Amino acid sequence: MITCHITYQIDPMKTSDFEVYAQAWIPLVERFGGTHHGYFLPHEGPNDLAFAAFSFPSLAAYEAYRSDSMKDEDCKAAYDFAVRTNCIVRYDRHFLRPVLSGDLSGIKPSEA
């Protein structure tokens, strides 16, 4: 599994536009086989940072989503909305490998 984590710098005066954009992408990612973990908008702290995270079974599945989404009319409309409203100043994508289960055995001292 690969998780894409996106850090957005948004225009703080257009947070409501960014929220509309975010709400559009959640079902779109899921349409293409991803699991969306949500968008996180400013509340306390910096008012121009937002985050999103979503996962795909593999990097290849993510790349297929990126390619297929560029041809999808709803995805194009969501992207065009962000451009039209200018709610996103910039963004950075990071690809992460999740740890989803716990195990205490690795922290216990080895028996000599």
CA angle 95, 99, 104 (to 5 degrees): 155
In this prediction, residue 34 carries a pLDDT of 96
Of the candidates 51, 5, 57, 52, the one whose C-alpha atom is nearest the C-alpha of residue 33 is 57
Q: What is the pTM of this model?
A: 0.86
Q: Which amino acid makes up residue 74?
A: D
- For the stretch 59-75, pLDDT in tens is 999 999 999 999 999 99
Query: 72: which DSSP letter?
Result: -
* Percent of the chain scoring above 70 in pLDDT: 98
If you average pLDDT over residues 25-49, what whole number do you get? 95
At 110, the pLDDT band (50, 70, 90 cuts) reads confident
Averaged over 18-23, what is the pLDDT?
Answer: 97
Residue 24 in 3-state DSSP?
Answer: helix
What pLDDT shows up at residue 51?
A: 98
The pLDDT, as a whole number, for residue 112 is 61
Q: What is the mean pLDDT of residues 100-104?
A: 88
